[in-house]
Amino acid sequence: MTGAKRRKKSVLWSQRNTLLCEDFKQWGRRRLPILEWAPRYSLKENLLPDTVSGIMLAIQQVTQGLAFAILSSVHPVFGLYGSFFPAIIYAVFGMGRHVATGTFALTSLISANAVERLVPASSQNLTTPRNTSSLGLSDFEMKRIGIAASVSFLGGVIQVAMCVLQLGSTTFLLTQPVISAMTTGAATHVVTSQVKYLLGMKIPYISGPLGLFYIYTYVFENIKAVRLEALLLSLLSIVVLVTVKELNERFKRKIKVVLPVDLVLVIAASFACYYANMENTYGLEVVGHIPKGIPPPKAPPMSVLSAVITEAFGVALVGYAASLALAQGSAKKFKYSVDDNQEFLAHGLSNVISSFFFCIPSAAAMGRTTGLYSTGAKTQVACLISCIFVLTVIYTIGPLLYWLPMCVLASIIVVGLKGMLIQFRDLKKYWNVDKIDWGIWISTYVFTICFAANVGLLFGVVCTIAIVIGRFSRAKTLSIENMKEMEFKVKTEMDSETLQQVKVISINNALVFLNAKKFHTDLMNIIQKENASNQPLDDTSKCEQNTLLNSLSNGNCNEEAPQSCPYEKCSLILDCSGLSFFDYSGVSMLVEVYMDCKSRSVDVSLAHCTASLIKAMKYCGNLDSAKPIFFKSVSAAISNIHLNRVRQNLSNLGEQSEV
In this predicted structure, what is the pLDDT of residue 555? 38
**For the chain, what is the largest distance between any 2 Cα atoms, rounded to a whole number of angstroms?**
101
Q: Which helix (H) or strand (E) holds 532?
A: helix 516-532
Helix axes 176-193, 453-472, angle to 10 degrees: 160
In this predicted structure, what is the pLDDT of residue 236? 95
In this predicted structure, what is the pLDDT of residue 645? 74
Q: Who contacts 512 (Cβ-Cβ below 8 Å, separation ≥6)?
A: 468, 471, 581, 582, 583, 585, 586
Q: Who contacts 244 (Cβ-Cβ below 8 Å, separation ≥6)?
A: 259, 261
In this predicted structure, what is the pLDDT of residue 530? 59
**Alpha carbon distances (Å) from 166 to 160, 161, 342, 348, 612:** 10, 9, 9, 13, 37
In this predicted structure, what is the pLDDT of residue 636? 86
State mean pLDDT over 633-641.
Answer: 83
Do 108 and 69 contact (CB within 8 A), yes or no? yes
Question: Per DSSP, which regions of 476-590 are E strands?
Answer: 502-506, 558-559, 571-575
19 pLDDT more than 60: no
In this predicted structure, what is the pLDDT of residue 245? 86
What type of residue is 252?
A: K
Predicted confidence band at 654 (pLDDT cuts at 50, 70, 90)? low
Do 83 and 330 contact (CB within 8 A), yes or no? no
The more confidently predicted of residues 538 and 422 is 422
Question: How many CA atoms does the CB half-sphere of 498 hold within 13 Å?
Answer: 19
In this predicted structure, what is the pLDDT of residue 207? 79
pLDDT in tens, 205-254: 887 888 899 999 999 999 999 999 999 999 999 999 999 888 887 877 77
Helix axes 340-355, 309-334, angle to 10 degrees: 130
Do 111 and 72 contact (CB within 8 A), yes or no? yes
Question: How many CA atoms does the CB half-sphere of 550 hold within 13 Å?
Answer: 12
pLDDT in tens, 586-602: 888 888 888 888 877 77
pLDDT in tens, 561-591: 334 444 455 778 888 887 878 888 888 888 8
Q: What is the CA radius of gyration of the chain?
A: 29
In this predicted structure, what is the pLDDT of residue 517? 78
In this predicted structure, what is the pLDDT of residue 442? 95
In eight-state DSSP terms, residue 582 is B
In eight-state DSSP terms, residue 152 is H
Do 342 and 71 contact (CB within 8 A), yes or no? no
In the chain, % helix, strand, coil (3-state, to 5) comes to 70, 5, 30
**Nearest-angstrom CA–CA distance, 417 and 238:** 12
In this predicted structure, what is the pLDDT of residue 595? 84
Q: Who contacts 592 (Cβ-Cβ below 8 Å, separation ≥6)?
A: 520, 621
**Alpha carbon distances (Å) from 256 to 50, 246, 262, 431:** 14, 16, 18, 39
What type of residue is 329?
A: G
- Which residues are paired to 286 by β-bridges? 405
The more confidently predicted of residues 391 and 629 is 391
Query: Quick check: helix, strand or coil at residue 506?
Result: strand
Please return the burial class of 647, using the count of CB atoms within 10 Å of its CB with bins 0-12, 13-18 and 19+: exposed
622 pLDDT more than 90: no
In this predicted structure, what is the pLDDT of residue 15? 57
447 pLDDT more than 90: yes
Going by C-alpha positions, the residue among 307, 483, 354 that lies closest to residue 84 is 354
In this predicted structure, what is the pLDDT of residue 386? 94
In eight-state DSSP terms, residue 427 is H
Q: Count of residues for the chain?
A: 659
In this predicted structure, what is the pLDDT of residue 367? 84
State what percent of residues in the chain have pLDDT above 90: 29
Q: What is the pTM of this model?
A: 0.74
Predicted confidence band at 129 (pLDDT cuts at 50, 70, 90)? low
Q: Count CB-CB contacts under 10 A for residue 612.
A: 13
In this predicted structure, what is the pLDDT of residue 388? 94
**Nearest-angstrom CA–CA distance, 140 and 123:** 8
Q: What is the mean pLDDT of the chain?
A: 80
